[in-house]
Amino acid sequence: MCSHLTELPSHVLGRADPPSETPLPSPYRALFAAPGSTAFSTAGFLGRMPLSMMGIGVVTMVSQLTGRYGLAGALSATIALAAAVCGPQVSRLVDRYGQRRVLRPATLVSLTAATGLLLTAHFRWPDWLLFVCCVGIGCVPSLGAMVRARWAALYRGTPRLHTAYSFESVVDEVCFIFGPILSIGLSTAWFPEAGPLLAACFLAVGVFWLTSQRATEPVPHPRAERGGGSALRSRGLQVFVATFVATGAVFGSIDVVTVAFAEERGHKAAASLVLAVYAAGSCVAGMVFGLMRFAGAPERRWLLGVCATAVSMIPLLLVGSLPFLAVALFVAGLSIAPTMITTMSLIEEHVPRAQLTEGMSWVSTGLAVGIALGSSAGGWVIDTAGARAGYGVPAVAGAVAVTVGFLGYRRLTRPAPRRGGTVEQHSERQERHMA
């Protein structure tokens, strides 16, 4: 009798559930108690869809029209490199003048270039014009940094900011789950230009909706308040950017190689599903990570995440079928979101508050440069030795990321004065240095 009684629900026995048994989604629901938070996060989600759609859409479009993966990878790399150059400058202007005044003109430039790219590809105009248009597309603003800056303005100094960053990392991965499916699926089933076209539409809707929400827009910081100089002067930020160049090479090469790998096996459209599984692994890890609280040094968690990303590339060298590839990529994805979440939290500690948007964009720049290198190298290896050999590119890139992370680790453990980190981070660091 007693054994059965202990199995009854706690409300029947008359005792309250312990706090640890609170339903998991509740910390995420609590984020949206702030007015306007649902609207700006949703707008940011739509505006970030092109991040996962445009590059892979261009690869699919060009490979469909010309069969040249080398050209397709080079065009995708050009977009990423242009974004790497323009992104931090756009974000720096945002920190100074505000999101609305800067994002709308930058988006119009990107949309005009995207229109030119589609027309050039459709009418088979010269290849050099494709590259010119890809440079213009690179003016696209970093919507992830803009949304995270709004969360920081709402919850800076509270534990909810960790949950907010985790949620936005999950949103990133949701974009990477559905973005490739839409982009590759439309380009292969409808017409080749369909994927990039839809990406441009998402960008327009997301940016103009986000910038119409003035109440949650972070207050700009004029040059006099910013103190001049770039956020990249931070030694800690330099480590993050350098490491994420190599990490971006992992992502960029996996996208291109997976499309070619699926085509070699006669199921090119399945590449979108396989890449979605990769993002799903990161999404699951991000959801769980956002519900956790950690007492140890965040720098150690960051380095552990970089190492886990590198190790997870090894099974890709052994893939022989699409199902096995999907399983390997799901496991590989588990380390992505936790590493990105920890990175964004550490940026607050190493970058002045008035340059937070720029600092976050520099990490995106590092990723963009890496994606450019990875997609270009992946395309070259595919054309030279086949798709399966292409998975050697992310394996090498992961090893480089670990090397850079270890070499720069000491910079991250040194306290940075006059930074805009959270109260929890500062107190945690003080305890470590007093120990």
Judge whether 14 lies within some domain: no
Q: Is the pLDDT of residue 227 over 70?
A: no
Residue 197 lies in a domain: yes
Reported confidence tier of residue 10, pLDDT bands at 50, 70, 90: very low
Residue 31 lies in a domain: no
- Give the amino acid at 263: E
User: In the predicted model, is pLDDT for residue 414 greater than 70?
Assistant: no
Domain CATH code at residue 165: 1.20.1250.20
Mean pLDDT of 378-382: 86
Residue 418 is assigned to a structural domain of this protein: yes
Tally the domains of the chain. Answer: 1
pTM equals 0.73
Residues spanned by the domain of 415: 38-212+232-434
The reply to whether 339 falls in a domain is yes
In a domain, 16, yes or no: no
Residue 410 or 223, more confident:
410
User: What's the confidence (pLDDT) of residue 416?
Assistant: 52
Confidence of residue 203 (pLDDT cuts 50, 70, 90): very high
What's the rounded mean pLDDT across residues 368-384?
A: 83
Question: What's the whole-number mean pLDDT along residues 201-227?
Answer: 83
**What pLDDT, on the 0 to 100 scale, is given for residue 399?**
94
| Alpha-carbon gap, residue 405 to 124, rounded angstroms | 44
In-domain check, residue 299:
yes
**Residue 217 resides in a domain:** no
Residues 273 and 252: their CA atoms lie apart, in Å, by 17
Q: Is the pLDDT of residue 182 over 70?
A: yes
